[in-house]
């Protein structure tokens, strides 16, 4: 088997704060440090709007239609971690100049393999995802990782890293809220469980050039022709190389 025959299923908590960007920009303007038409760059934020932490499991499934969900430790308690030593911790932000609503989380995840200090705990945390190639777990990052969710909670993602391009499909589940008081606003934080299955692609595979729109279209077509248990259990998520079609 090729390692591309493995479907990598990621599952963990995604946390984000509703309306936090608009509130923060209002604060900057009040201090005279941001104008009405000034681009709002993520690098200027003093916090990260979105975090996604959990674990991933590899499933041998060249045929994605047979790739069921790996066992989760305890569904009843809402636990969202697999029994796995492979952790991930990624930080995301919306596309520049936008902040989507809670049912349309369009993000670019920054997954660079750096270490950052958690402002709440004061402890250093790795940013990226772990992989053990036989010499112990190491942290890696994605050069590009774009994620989009839809109103029906389906999630589509694409990107690439030092190993290969990839596509991913999954779903959001659950809602948990926490309201905290800051000096300048009341902040509502939302936590949801995000589960996605990632497929790495061969060079020259048609899917390497897919946008998230292309991926969504193909997955929904596959779902319409059957009733998959999970959204990644469709033909277009298989490992077989897809040749570019003539237009």
Closest CA to 46 of 71, 25, 70: 25
Considering only CA atoms, give the Rg of the chain: 19
**What pLDDT score does 224 carry?**
95
Six token digits for residue 44: 């200027």
CA 58 and chain centroid, separation: 16
Which string of DSSP letters, residue by residue, matches 159-189?
Answer: EEESS-EEEEEEEEEEEEEEEEE-SS-EEEE
How far is 111 from 126, CA to CA, in rounded Å?
10
Which residue do the tokens 């279209």 mark? 217
Query: Given this model, what pLDDT does residue 174 score?
Result: 82
Whole-model pTM? 0.80
pLDDT along the chain (247 residues), means of 10: 90 73 44 44 49 92 95 69 88 61 60 68 84 90 89 92 96 73 56 93 94 95 93 96 73
Cα–Cα distance between 57 and 70 in angstroms, integer? 7
128: alpha, beta or left? (left if phi > 0; alpha if psi -120 to 50): left
Helix or strand holding residue 245 (H, E) = none
Residue-level pLDDT at 182: 53
The C-alpha atoms of residue 169 and residue 195 are separated, in whole angstroms, by 8
Q: Which long-range contacts (CB under 8 A, 24 or more apart) does 128-135 make?
A: 128/88, 128/89, 128/90, 129/56, 129/86, 129/87, 129/88, 129/89, 129/90, 130/85, 130/86, 130/87, 130/88, 131/86, 132/85, 132/86
Residue 196, pLDDT score:
96
pLDDT, residue 201, reads 97
Q: Where are the domains of the chain?
A: 3-237
């Amino acid at each position: 088997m090729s390692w591309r025959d493995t479907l990598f299923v990621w599952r963990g908590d995604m946390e984000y704060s509703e309306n936090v960007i608009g509130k923060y920009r209002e604060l900057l303007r009040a201090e005279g440090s941001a104008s009405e038409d000034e681009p709002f760059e993520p690098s200027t934020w003093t916090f990260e709007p979105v975090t996604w932490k959990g674990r991933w499991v590899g499933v041998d499934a060249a045929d994605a239609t047979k790739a069921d969900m790996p066992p989760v430790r305890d569904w009843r308690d809402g636990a969202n971690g697999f029994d796995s030593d492979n952790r991930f911790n990624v930080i995301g932000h919306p596309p520049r100049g936008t902040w989507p609503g809670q049912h349309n989380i369009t993000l670019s995840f920054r997954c660079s393999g750096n270490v950052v200090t958690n402002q709440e705990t004061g402890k250093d945390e790795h940013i990226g995802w772990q992989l053990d190639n036989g010499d112990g777990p190491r942290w890696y990052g994605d050069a590009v990782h774009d994620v989009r969710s839809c109103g029906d909670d389906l999630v589509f993602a694409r990107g690439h890293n030092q190993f290969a391009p990839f596509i991913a499909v999954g779903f959001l589940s659950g809602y948990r809220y926490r309201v905290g008081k800051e000096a300048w606003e009341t902040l509502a934080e939302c936590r949801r469980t995000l589960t996605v299955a990632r497929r790495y692609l061969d060079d020259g595979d048609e899917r390497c050039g897919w946008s998230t729109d292309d991926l969504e279209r193909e997955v929904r077509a596959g779902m319409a022709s059957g009733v998959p248990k999970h959204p990644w259990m469709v033909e277009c998520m298989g490992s077989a190389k897809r040749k570019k079609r003539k237009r």
